[in-house]
Homo-oligomer: A and B are copies of this chain.
Amino acid sequence: MIKIGIVGGTGYTGVELLRILAAHPQAELSVITSRKEDGMPVAEMFPSLRGHVSLAFSAPEKARLDQCDVVFFATPHGVAMAQARELLAAGVKVIDLAADFRIKDTAVFEQWYGMPHSCPDLLEEAVYGLPEVNREAIRNARLIGLPGCYPTSMQLGFAPLLAQGKPLVNEASLIADCKSGVSGAGRKAEIPALLAEASDNFKAYGVKGHRHLPETVQGLEAIAQRKVGLTFVPHLVPMIRGIHSTLYASILPEARGTDFQALYEAHYRNDPFVDVLPAGSHPETRSVRASNMLRIALHQPAGSDQLVILVVEDNLVKGAAGQGVQCMNIMFGLDETTGLRHVPVMP
């Protein structure tokens, strides 16, 4: 059994980790920290876990995280980088669900996250936890920076196009029009996230610039090995879970005959959590609700050179906790799908 520690288990990615790991056949929940809730049984805060999780929260100073095999950080940005060095030194693997180990360029990190990076050497070692792109590196990693929810959908949506030897689309002006359920904003008491504000409503936000833009561009360029330009517009959907990314790429004249459907199917044929739907499908976010699956469908509207790529994922699973467990499985030599074979909940 893998002994698991969770730092910061009171947010949505934390409780989702608990939901998944409580039923994971190789995981043993050992420690979960929360200063504010020290001593409170986890299932008292989250009654959905009654009968599944018997652990109580511990204050960080009491928690023996160093005796775990792996520690997940489901914390605000900046926490993991303060604690990772000590844990790694104790032989504990670290998986950060926040942004501390995502962006390789510390100047870019500091610009977008408004804090200096406290351990650039670890950042260099850290592996970006996107298994479909970095599976081998993850296998040997001690330290994982998990992708953001939007970046997962954008990168996996564009990857087959960009991974080719020569450009198929205008890589300088990709567009990602993304829509997310409100759980993406976290379990924070903020007026715009109230049901009375956000339901029966739709809006864009962060059009001027969103932290997931530099992360995604870094990832796309790593895949393409070329410069990439991206316009990213996130929107808020009145639903709890789910991301739907609608991606636009202009097909280059020389690539007009390409069988994109075949390209995508081939690219993902060995990835258990990416499902390329039949051409012309319209994936729904609920088709992946509460599961680690990501589904993709391709469209080429008649009379146009635009390729339209539709991508859906559950932002809390493939976009966060599930992807973390997928990385853990790889790091510990388990079958990648262990504990992650949830049938999506529909309706």
Contact = CB atoms under 8 A, between A and B. Distances in A.
Nearest to A206: B282
Given A177-B177, A179-B235, A240 B293 contact: no
Given A235-B244, A241-B347, A343-B23, A199 B196 contact: no
B189 A22 contact: no
Interface residues of A, number: 89
Interface string A220-243: 000000000101110101111110
A262 interface: no
Nearest to A295: B47
A207 B47 contact: no
A301 interface: yes
Interface string A161-193: 000000000000101010101110101111101
Number of copies of this kind of chain in the complex? 4
A50 B193 CA distance: 22
23 contacts: A12-B196, A19-B345, A19-B346, A23-B341, A23-B343, A46-B346, A47-B283, A48-B346, A50-B287, A51-B275, A52-B341, A177-B248, A179-B235, A187-B191, A189-B190, A196-B240, A200-B240, A208-B301, A231-B301, A231-B306, A231-B308, A233-B308, A238-B239
Given A49-B343, A179-B179, A182-B194, 8 more contacts: A23-B341, A47-B281, A48-B346, A187-B347, A199-B199, A202-B312, A207-B282, A231-B304
**Ranked 4 nearest A-B pairs via Cβ:** A48-B344, A48-B346, A177-B177, A203-B284
Interface of A: 12, 15, 19, 22-23, 46-52, 173, 175, 177, 179, 181-183, 185, 187-191, 193-205, 207-209, 229, 231-233, 235, 237-242, 244, 246, 248, 250, 275, 277, 280-291, 293, 295, 299, 301-306, 308, 310, 312, 341-347
